[in-house]
Chain A
Amino acid sequence: MRRIIATLSLVFLCSASAYSSGFSIYEASVRANGMLGAFSAYANHVSTIFYNPAGLAGLDGFRFSGGVSIIAPRSSFRNLSPLAPAGQKTVMEEQNFLVPNMYASYQVAEGLTVGLGIYAPFGLGSKWPADWVGRGSSIEANVQTLFANPAIGYKLPDLGIGEIKIGAGLRVAFHGTVKLSRAVQNFTPEGTFAMEGELKEPAYGFNAGILYEPVENVTLGFTYRSEVTVAFEGDAEFNNLPVGFPAGGTQGSAEITLPASYVIALNVEPIGGLTTELDYVWFGWSSYDELTITFDQPIVALGGNSITSVRNFKDSWQLRFGAEYSKIPVEGLTVRAGIGFDKNPIRERYVDPTLPDADRWEYSVGLTYSLTDYLDIDASYIFIRANQRKVTNTYEGGIDGVYTTYANIPGLGISLQF
């Protein structure tokens, strides 16, 4: 008899997180978190290596900053698919993710500073109950990346049109892990597909920025971050899938192009002690149009040795507004707050439970307390509320329903300067 089933579509990856749209993470420094990351023109802190490397040029002496943000996303799903009663609710398992960051800079000469940053600009994590209604789309998804970013900032000589700083850096993805699992419902009994992999080799990109202060107390900033194409490889396991899949599992690999982004920033200090900033952040998510996992052997059930899932992300943007006030009547205390809107890049057809993404409003507060002239304690708190997202026209095999997501992101860090 002829083959009776068309090839399976093991659609996977790779979206997800409640951090920022798509799976980018913009919480790269506790100091900047307080202003909700509206920091690309302010740049008065060593974490400017991430936000705008041009800011390095303004940093003297030796600076160090280290911190951690805890991202605690919470999602729930209410079913609108024919696979379970309408409205049936599933709560995503509670997971908290520790996102570290560390920066150091050293002024080599007047107007010339070098630095190194380590941060996690992309990541996602979602875990649903193994028997939940959307298990055919995703059970667990976890992607982590760590970037090292050596950078240099240089202050241009006075040209008489205001102060200009430029900077650039190399962005090296040096660590990454990926973990995915989902049920395969094409067969009875159901099987699962799981993949666990690591970054195959370091991947490179760059960032560059410019800061321009045409008049005092007004600074314009622009930052560009290039695409970084990361390749993961690891073990693919096919559990309880006796027919059409290799029994002992196989090796699989996948490439993901992490999107380019740019920031246009305006920082104004209207009165002494008050700094306000508005950043427009653009992400070129359309680079993430499909995801292909390639296996090292042909797999009958897939009709080949690779599977491609269409993601079709669209470019997206964020608007971030932050303010900082340093002249409150407590010695050594600076307070911050921010508000932002984050447009999600996922079209309705491709929304899935790996990333219950939606347009979102973000709010932040933060503070810095200077213990000594050399040591500051930074703290921040971000609350993200994603709009309820109802999807009723997902791809073949997708799961229709309503996602409700929010996230709390407390952060704590220190800053040192000598």
Chain B
Amino acid sequence: MNYSKKILKRILPLIAVIVMAAGCKDYQDLNLEPVQSGEADFSTYVAVGNSITAGFQSNALYESAQRFSYPNLLARAMRLEDFEQPLISDPGIGDPGRIELVNLQESITTFNTSQGKPINTGIGRPYNNVGVPGIKIDAYLDGAPANPFYPLIVNSGTPTEPLPNIHQALEILQPTLVTFWLGNNDVLGYVTSGGLISFTNPADFQTQYVSSITAIQNLESDPTVVTVNIPSVSSIAFTTTVGPQFQATIANNNQVPGIVVQKTFYEATPTIGAEENRQPAALIAKENLDNPDMALILLTGKDYLPYLGVSAFPQAPTYNQAAVEAILNYWRGYIVNAGLATEEQAAALTQQQIEDMMTQITIGQYQQTFGSADAAVFAANYPGFDFNQPFGLSPQNPFPNQFVLDSNEISIANTVTGIFNSVIATQGDLQFDVNSFFNNIVEQGSYVTPSGLTLTPEIGSLFSLDGIHPSNQAHAVIANKIIEVLNSGTGSNIERIDVSKIPQGIPVASGAVVAN
């Protein structure tokens, strides 16, 4: 009995001590090891850029996507607590709106024209992410007063007080780390318009880019500057998605040798890769439709491909009233854009009138490029437009220029991109060569993340629904590449982001009624 009491006396306090030790120990200490910034200082980070930097996706700037912008992911990886972005409520701001998925099986999309509103205005200082959708290199030092996003993003605390230029925001914030990714739009307008809108003059680009970087490097805070270059025109899903799909549909049709496309007239300009072109339209052979050096059909042309071969002649076997109306309406829009008619006037134009006006416009373009004398010769031999000919298969009813980059235009876009990138390569303390990185992904057909996730250079994977802007997961991939550049360049130890944990977040139409 005494013995047992002794045992109890010894054991009970022991148990009590163990219980208390385990029960009271504070397990709430999470020892996050601080990020080593090496030779750099990551304490204040500012991201300069365009729509990609802003986190713009699927044709709109909206919060759900902005949360996954590469600057925000990078700031999180660096454990910055005060990295602010100009958030816009879903479905965001876009023209005409966010692209949303209506049907999963066939990937049918629609525009959601509702517009979001700024969320976190009035923070009393500029935002850390000053990526402004649509801006070119000149906006860094000159501002972009006409850009609707500009006052929302580049301001000193409230949207009613936009700063005169983006550099002002950096003057106020005095960043220690800057990522600078501008220049895409200096060539992208040319690409997305099928070669109709001009690119920035390369000499101007060089001047503006170098002065921008110099201004940043002269800031008192003496930041580490990472520059990011411009991806190839043929590495974005916007240019690579439709051509191969179209090729597949006509592959076995021996009657259709390819697609006849309206062309831009060019004088030869070897410095930018332009060859002389005097043809108003030309055939792109079907075997070239998946060759990114020969032809790129843009995502915007997708809707017109089903009309291929359609004739406006009611007795023709390929007559299709809806298709003819859509084709005529396209050219009515073309005439409006050329400034030759108002929308009301264009709506009243007959088929014959449209044909005549398009013929005249084409002769006028020839004259502008090669002069009156040559134009007179051209006009004498030019049969003009005739919508009774099969759409996209005849030089008289060509597939619109706006939806296609031909080999000449691809060559120009690549040359210009190369010139811009050679400027960017000399600027900043560190460079991320996203051009080579994405070219490599396109060449390989996929990218496998270190965590084993396979991503492809397609819409829904690395690209958002607009085919131009990176998806959530692509932003994480980009952030990781910048992390690699920083770690190897400054001796820092920022941890990589696990891309497989980033949700896809593909926009879907909430009112979708179409069956799945």
Q: Can you name the residue of chain B whose Cβ is closest to the Cβ of A325?
A: B8
Q: Can you name the residue of chain A whose Cβ is closest to the Cβ of B499?
A: A82
Nearest CB in chain A: distance from B280 CB, A: 30
Interface hits, A1-16 → B, CB 8 Å: 1-5
Question: Do the beta carbons of B103 and A243 come within 8 Å of each other?
Answer: yes
Q: Which B residues are in CB contact (< 8 Å) with A188?
A: 62, 64-65, 90, 505-508
Given contacts A243-B104, A300-B104, contact A187 B507 (CB under 8 A): yes
Given contacts A81-B498, A82-B476, A243-B101, contact A5 B504 (CB under 8 A): yes
Question: Do the beta carbons of A186 and B503 come within 8 Å of each other?
Answer: yes
Question: Do the beta carbons of A186 and B4 come within 8 Å of each other?
Answer: no
Answer whether residue B32 sits at the interface, using C-beta atoms and an 8 A cutoff.
Answer: yes
Q: Can you name the residue of chain B whose Cβ is closest to the Cβ of A386?
A: B27
Question: Do the beta carbons of A81 and B505 come within 8 Å of each other?
Answer: no
* Docked CA distance A394–B107 (Å): 30
Question: Do the beta carbons of B4 and A327 come within 8 Å of each other?
Answer: yes
Answer whether residue B19 sits at the interface, using C-beta atoms and an 8 A cutoff.
Answer: yes
Answer whether residue B30 sits at the interface, using C-beta atoms and an 8 A cutoff.
Answer: yes
* Docked CA distance A264–B503 (Å): 46
Q: Which A residues are in CB contact (< 8 Å) with B62?
A: 188
Interface hits, B73-127 → A, CB 8 Å: 73, 76-77, 79, 81, 90, 101-108
* Docked CA distance A83–B460 (Å): 20
Answer whether residue A261 sits at the interface, using C-beta atoms and an 8 A cutoff.
Answer: no
* Docked CA distance A187–B508 (Å): 6
Partner of B23, one of A4, A272, A385: A385
Answer whether residue B347 sits at the interface, using C-beta atoms and an 8 A cutoff.
Answer: no
Stretch at the interface among A117-125, A214-222, A279-287, A398-406: A398-406
- Could you give, for residues 10-21 of chain B, a 1 whenever the CB lies within 8 Å of some chain A CB and a 0 otherwise? 011001001100
Give the number of chain A interface residues (Cβ < 8 Å).
52
Question: Do the beta carbons of B516 and A189 come within 8 Å of each other?
Answer: no
- Could you give, for residues 329-367 of chain A, a 1 whenever the CB lies within 8 Å of some chain B CB and a 0 otherwise? 000000001010000000000000000000001010000
Question: Do the beta carbons of B505 and A87 come within 8 Å of each other?
Answer: no
Task: Point out which of A87, A188, A394, A398 has the most chain B C-beta atoms below 10 A from its C-beta.
Answer: A188
* Docked CA distance A398–B500 (Å): 8
- Could you give, for residues 475-516 of chain B, a 1 whenever the CB lies within 8 Å of some chain A CB and a 0 otherwise? 010000000000000000000011011111111111110001
Partner of B106, one of A1, A83, A185: A1
* Docked CA distance A189–B503 (Å): 12
Given contacts A82-B476, A242-B512, A396-B500, contact A3 B79 (CB under 8 A): no
Question: Do the beta carbons of B81 and A85 come within 8 Å of each other?
Answer: yes
* Docked CA distance A366–B64 (Å): 52
Interface hits, B1-51 → A, CB 8 Å: 1, 3-4, 7-8, 11-12, 15, 18-19, 22-23, 25, 27-28, 30, 32
Partner of A1, one of B19, B64, B245, B516: B245
Question: Do the beta carbons of B4 and A4 come within 8 Å of each other?
Answer: no
Answer whether residue A301 sits at the interface, using C-beta atoms and an 8 A cutoff.
Answer: yes
Partner of B22, one of A3, A84, A385: A385
Q: Can you name the residue of chain B whose Cβ is closest to the Cβ of A191?
A: B508
Partner of A242, one of B245, B502, B508: B508
Q: Which A residues are in CB contact (< 8 Å) with B516?
A: 243-246, 300-301
Answer whether residue B316 sits at the interface, using C-beta atoms and an 8 A cutoff.
Answer: no
29 cross-chain CB contacts under 8 A: A1-B108, A4-B101, A4-B460, A5-B460, A5-B506, A81-B501, A82-B73, A82-B497, A82-B501, A83-B502, A85-B79, A85-B81, A86-B32, A187-B505, A187-B508, A188-B65, A242-B512, A244-B516, A246-B516, A274-B7, A323-B11, A337-B12, A339-B15, A361-B22, A363-B19, A383-B23, A396-B452, A404-B27, A406-B23
Given A337-B15, A385-B23, A397-B503, 7 further pairs, Cβ under 8 A:
A4-B107, A4-B465, A5-B104, A86-B79, A240-B510, A245-B516, A325-B4
**B interface vs A, CB < 8 Å?**
1, 3-4, 7-8, 11-12, 15, 18-19, 22-23, 25, 27-28, 30, 32, 62, 64-65, 73, 76-77, 79, 81, 90, 101-108, 241, 245, 302, 451-453, 458-461, 465, 476, 497-498, 500-512, 516
The 5 A-B residue pairs whose C-beta atoms are closest, nearest first, are: A4-B460, A185-B503, A244-B104, A396-B500, A242-B512
